[in-house]
Structure 1
Amino acid sequence: MRNIYTLNKISSRGLKIFDESYSIQETLEAADAILVRSAKMHDMALPTSVKAIARAGAGVNNIPVEKCAQQGIVVFNTPGANANAVKELVIAGLLLSSRKVVEGINWASTLTKDVAKEVEAGKSAFVGPEILGKKLGVVGLGAIGVMVANAGQALGMDVIGYDPYISVDGAWGISRHIHHALSLEQILNEADYITIHVPLTSNTQGMFNAEAFSKMKKSIRLLNFSRDTLVNNEDLLHAIEKGTIDKYVTDFPVDGLIGNPHILTIPHLGASTPESEENCAVMAVKQVKDYLETGSIVNSVNFPRCEMAWNAAFRLTIIHKNIPAMIGKITNIIATEGINISDMLNKSKGEWAYTIIDTDTKVTDENVQNISEIDDIIKVRVLFK
């Protein structure tokens, strides 16, 4: 029996994927895996039984990713599962940034008499341009960015996209009508609307700052449905004062942005749809189940993607440091133990590596212990069909 600890409420559609060999529990004791949404985990003491954590969502800021790696815990996220939900809200934000719909609705709600007459007299204050034919710059062409780019093109916009690290899946998914920007500066110089879809890293934090704003045309509409700190808010406010930014639409309300007529703050609704929650739960559960049962890793943020067809009786999975001669040390021990390797795969990601070894030779607890005693081996598991 494998134990699954649900740290937040997880969609029943996802949990139903677990069969009778799994137990869903509300305690951490003896848990093999943890399913989480937004709960903070940085101060949690994780038992040695935990092998995987799956975040039903894309961001993993609430999980101590590096600490988990050191303990041999694979951390998964669910990129793309909520992409359509976010894309739809981005398109709504794109339209709201142009047409002053929110401002008009707020004004109309204050009218109390001769409403039709007042509307006709006052509606000119809420004139805004159409998006048809305007240039949309999409920064980041992951799952959401590609969908936004394609939707913008379908709405008649001239779309340019920039992502130096675009994946094969992203390249396959993007419309051939989307223009490829050779640099971020090209988008800053040319776009009428810019939407941000990059992950938050040390390199991207505050990337939209005074220097970036200085390269933009006047009256830009800027959309941020990715992470709040990708934009330097102090520099943003200065850019608004100078007329560079006409409207900033963000899904991340923070102090200093509320009440500014040039800023629309949406209360973090990007993934807040029942469909998105279900999709994230289903993906998270499938990834955890596959890892626990076959050792395959897909969509991990701290370990490499590693999948191999399993055609032997036993499978060893080994989490270890990515250092020279490690594979030789492992295979030497295996040879000494009389284990014949049927197939093997090794992948690395930064300082961490993962090795899968298939064999028809029975793997004993003693074999596992001997491999575990190699320096810089983090965790060894043996699986069998």
Structure 2
Amino acid sequence: MFQIKTFNAIAQEGMSRFDEDNYQVNQSETPDGIILRSQKLHDYEFPESVLGVARAGAGTNNIPVEECTEKGIVVFNTPGANANAVKELVIASLLLSVRPIIQGAIWVQDLTGSNIEEQVEANKKQFAGNELEGKKLGVIGLGSIGAMVANDAYRLGMEVIGYDPHVSVDTAWSISRRVKRATEINEIFSTCDFITVHVPLLEQTRNLISDKELAMMKPTTKLFNFSRGEIVDPEAVLKAVNDGYLAGFTTDFADERLLNNEKILVLPHLGASTEEAEINCAKMAARTLKKFLETGTIKRSVNFPTVEMAFYSPYRITIINRNVPNMLGQISSTIAAAEINIDNMINRGRGEYAYTLVDVNETDEAKLANVVSLLEQNSDVIRVRTIKNTETSY
């Protein structure tokens, strides 16, 4: 029986994937898996029982990923599950940046008298805007969200240019061939009328756009940040809009410094706030964590490599270890010394850590427990567990 702990409200459509025959939810303080949305876990004392943490969302800044990695806890996210919701908000914000729709709607509410229609016709000129068609949009980061924004902006008639030195093969196939590719990020900064950022928050992307980058932009450029607040330097943006060399800034991350400025639109982190996105994220998080707990498969992890292998043997041994030379040899020799036959084996490394799946033709649980004990004695091994194949009878 696996124990699952949740933080925040997780959509039932996702939690229902944990069948009652094999899972209990929020009934133990020593869970095997954790699912959360925005809860911060940096001060959370992880029980030794925790094997995996799944975040129903793309960002994992609320999870101490490095600490989890050192403890052999696999951290998952749900890239792409909320991409459509964020994409729609970005497109809406592009439209709002050129058409004063909100201002006009507020103005109408204050009208009085019997000739409101005449007042509207006489004063609507003050809300005249511009069109997106024919304007140039730069998209920095062509992941799930950036690719969708680029494609839809092109369909609106915009000229779209994208920059991403690390675009995946899957994403490359999904991007319209009419989206142009920038080989240097500075090409985006210096030529585009609108710039939208869709990159993860890493040390090298913190303040990706600051004084230097803003100075390259045309004074008519409008900037959008629906990625993470720290990607764009707020002080630099304030100076740019106040000094007139940035036309506008829209962000989904509230910052007191950016409030009450007519050139800045601050949204209350609405990017993934749709019922559909929450359901999609919950389903993906539950499915990923369930697969990991039951088979050891790692997919969509932010701290360990993707490792998948068909499971046909009676038992599977999973090993998380430091990525040092000859670990595969040590693992296989330890298992062989315990007189256990290896049916299949796969190993993948990621940075300083590696993950190995070993399928064994063995049903003697005492022998399996012994080999786990032997593997755990290796100082470079962080975590070992055995998984019984419940799909086939032996």
Tell me, what secondary structure is at the counterpart of 1:107?
helix
Provide the rounded CA distance (Å) in 2 between the counterparts of 1:140 and 1:106: 35
* 2-structure distance, mates of 1:293, 1:365: 18
| Matched residue, 2:392 | none
Q: Residue type of the partner of 1:7?
A: F
Matched residue, 2:66 = 66
Aligned to 2:36: 36
By how many angstroms is 1:85 displaced? 0.5
Write the distance in 1 (CA, Å) between the matches of 2:185 and 2:165. Answer: 9
Residue aligned with 2:342, SS: coil
RMSD: 1.3
1:27 CA displacement: 4.8
Identify the residue that residue 375 of structure 1 maps to in structure 2: 379
Q: Which amino acid aligns with 1:4?
A: I
CA distance in 2, matches of 1:104, 1:208: 31
Match of 2:124 in 1: 123
**Amino acid aligned to 2:75:** V
Return the TM-score normalized by structure 1.
Answer: 0.97
Aligned-pair CA distance for 1:111:
2.6
Match of 2:215 in 1: 214
The match for 1:195 is 196
* Structure 1 runs, 4 residues or longer, greater than 6 Å off: none
Partner Cα separation in structure 1 for residue 94 and residue 22 of structure 2 = 44
1:156-194 CA deviation, whole Å, 9 max, x = no partner? 111111000101111111111111111111111111111
| Residue aligning to 2:13 | 13
**8 Å contact kept, 2:3–2:26:** no
Matched letter for residue 227 of structure 2: S
Q: TM-score, normalized by length of structure 2? A: 0.95
Query: Structure 1: where are the runs of 5+ without partners?
Result: none
Contact 1:2 1:21 in 2 (8 A): no
Shift of 1:28: 4.6
What does 1:319-338 correspond to in 2, within 5 Å? 319-338=320-339
Contact 2:3 2:27 in 1 (8 A): no
Q: Deviations over 1:216-270 (max 9, x none)?
A: 1121111111111111111111211232221211111211111100011111111
User: What amino acid maps onto 1:381 in structure 2?
Assistant: R
Could you tell me how far 1:127 is from its partner in structure 2? 2.1
Question: Once the two structures are superposed, what CA deviation does each residue of 1:64-115 show, in whole Å capped at 9, x if it has no partner?
Answer: 1111111111110000000000000010001001112122222333333343
Unaligned 5+ segments in structure 2 are 390-394
Distance in 1 (alpha carbons) for counterparts of 2:351 and 2:184: 26
Cα deviation, residue 335, structure 1: 1.8
Q: How much has 1:345 moved relative to structure 2?
A: 0.9
Contact map agreement 1:162 1:183 (CA 8 A) in 2: yes
Larger deviation: 157-166 or 310-319?
310-319
| Residues in 2 aligned to 1:193 and 1:261: alpha-carbon distance in whole angstroms | 18
2:91 matches 1:88: no
Shifted more, 200-209 versus 335-344: the winner is 335-344
Give me the whole-angstrom Cα distance separating, in 1, the residues matched to 2:242 and 2:377. 62
CA distance in 2, matches of 1:383, 1:121: 74
Q: Which amino acid aligns with 1:13?
A: E
Query: What pairs with 1:289-368 in structure 2 (closer than 5 Å)?
Result: 289-362=290-363, 363-368=367-372
Per the alignment, residue 47 of structure 2 pairs with 47
The whole-number CA distance in structure 1 between the counterparts of 2:199 and 2:24 is 34
